[in-house]
Structure 1
Amino acid sequence: MTKSLLFMNWTLKLPLVLGLALGLSACGEAPTQSSKSFLNFASARPEPEGIDPERKAFAIAMAKELRARGQRVWCVPFARNASGIEIRGNARTWWSQAEGVYGRGHTPKPGAVMAFTGTRKLPLGHVAVVSEVVSEREIRIDHANWKRNQLSFGMTVVDVSQKNDWSAVRVMSTPGQLGRVYPVSGFIYEPETRS
C-alpha cells in the first residue's frame, strides 16, 4: 500500500476511533445525557429513608465496571449490592431462599427487594430494589437488566392484584405506558425489618 492510501484510510478511521473512545469513556463517569442508555433515571429525587446511598453507589460502580469489561449486567448482583441482602442464584429462587433468613412480606418498603416470580416471559425471575413508596398501590424501583444490560432508576410499578397484596404488578418501562402483568412473590426485607 502506498503512503497516501494508508494516510487516507487513517483519516477516515480517526473520527470513528475518537467517537468510540468518547462513547466508552461515558461508562466511567457520573450519569450524563450521553450515558443515559446505560443508566435510566425516571427523575432526580433524593434517596428516601431505607435506601443506603453508599450501597447504591457501590452497585452502580460494580455495574459500570462489568460494562467496561464487556460483561453483562444482571439484576441479581445489582439487587444484592444495592440492598445488602446476601442471596445468590437465579432471581426466581430468592423468595424461597429468604425464608427463615430474611423478613418476607407483601408490603413494599424502601430498600426491600421485590421478587418477581419466574414465568415464561421471565424464566429466571427478576429482582428489584424498592426505592420509593408512592402510595398503597404504587412504588418506584431501581434495578438492572429489565432493559438488556442497563440500570433503571425510579421506574414506576403499580399493584394490579385483586387483593391489593402486590402479587401482580405492571411496570412502566416506557414513560406513560404500563407493561404486561407480572406475578410477584413478595418483598424481602433486611434482617431488622420484618412485616
Structure 2
Amino acid sequence: MKLVPAIVLATLALVQPATARPLQCAPYARENSAIDLHGNAASWWEQAKGTYAQGQAPRAGAVLVFKATGAMPVGHVAVVRKIVDQRHVLLNHANWSRPGMIETSAMAEDVSTKGDWSSVRVWYAPTRSLGLRASPAHGFIYAPGSDGTMLVSEAASDTPSEAFMSAFQDASKQG
C-alpha cells in the first residue's frame, strides 16, 4: 500500500464535488422568507393554496411566483424586499441574471394591463436594465401572520414616482 502525500490529499479536498450546483431560486426564497414550500418554483402557487394567503398585491416579505414558460420551465420565485410604488418592488432572488447569482434589491415592474402583477419585467444584470421580456406571474404568497395591510398606494399612477426613480438608480449601480 502506497501512502499518498498530505499535499495531494489537501488539494483533492479543495476540488468541488461533481454534485455541487449553483443556488436555485426556490431554496433561496425558502431560506429568506417565512414561506416553507418545496419543489420547483412553478409548483409553489398550487402548493400554497389552503396553507398560505395569496393575492395580487405585493407586500414586503411575500414571495412572487412566476409561471413556468419555455424560457423558465420550472418557473421562478423571488422575495419582495421593499415596495417602491404600486407598480414597482425590489426583489431578493437567486438564479435570475446568471446561474447561482444572488441579487438583492433587484427592481421588478408590473407591466400587466390590469395592474395585477400577472406580467412582470425584472432587473437583468447583464444588460443593466429591466429585462426586455415580460414574464407571466401567478401573484404573491404572503408570509404567515401578515396583517393584510396594503403597503401599496391605492391610487394608480402611470408616472414613475420619486421612490421608483431612486430605487431604479440604486439598482443600476448594482450590476
Do 2:80 and 2:89's aligned partners in 1 also have CA atoms closer than 8 Å?
yes
Aligned equivalents of 2:74 and 2:20: distance in 1?
22
Aligned equivalents of 2:21 and 2:48: distance in 1?
27
Counterpart of 1:136 in structure 2 is: 86
- Greater shift in the superposed pair: 171-180 or 94-103: 171-180
Deviations 1:133-168 (A, max 9, x none): 100000110001112111011110000000000000
Match of 1:115 among 65, 68, 72: 65
Do 1:105 and 1:194's aligned partners in 2 also have CA atoms closer than 8 Å?
no
Instruction: Show the 5 A alignment for 1:1-150.
Output: 70-146=20-96, 147-150=98-101
Do 1:172 and 1:179's aligned partners in 2 also have CA atoms closer than 8 Å?
no
Aligned equivalents of 1:131 and 1:184: distance in 2?
17
RMSD of aligned C-alpha atoms? 2.3
Q: TM-score, normalised by structure 1?
A: 0.63
Aligned equivalents of 1:194 and 1:122: distance in 2?
32
Structure 1 residue 82, shift from structure 2 partner = 0.2
Deviations 1:34-69 (A, max 9, x none): xxxxxxxxxxxxxxxxxxxxxxxxxxxxxxxx99x9
Percent of aligned pairs with the same amino acid: 40
Aligned equivalents of 1:154 and 1:101: distance in 2?
27
**Is residue 167 of structure 1 aligned with residue 140 of structure 2?**
no
Do 2:107 and 2:130's aligned partners in 1 also have CA atoms closer than 8 Å?
no
Moved over 4 A (4+): none
Which letter does structure 1 place at the counterpart of 2:62?
A
Structure 1 residue 72, shift from structure 2 partner = 2.2
Do 1:128 and 1:143's aligned partners in 2 also have CA atoms closer than 8 Å?
yes
**Is residue 158 of structure 1 aligned with residue 109 of structure 2?**
yes
Equivalent pairs counted in the alignment come to: 132
Structure 1 residue 178, shift from structure 2 partner = 3.2
Q: Secondary structure in 2 aligned to 1:92?
A: helix
**Is residue 179 of structure 1 aligned with residue 132 of structure 2?**
yes
Aligned equivalents of 2:88 and 2:39: distance in 1?
28
- Determine which structure has the larger helix proportion and give its number: 1
Aligned in 2, Cα 1:90/1:194: closer, same or farther, shift over 3 Å? farther
Aligned equivalents of 1:108 and 1:75: distance in 2?
18
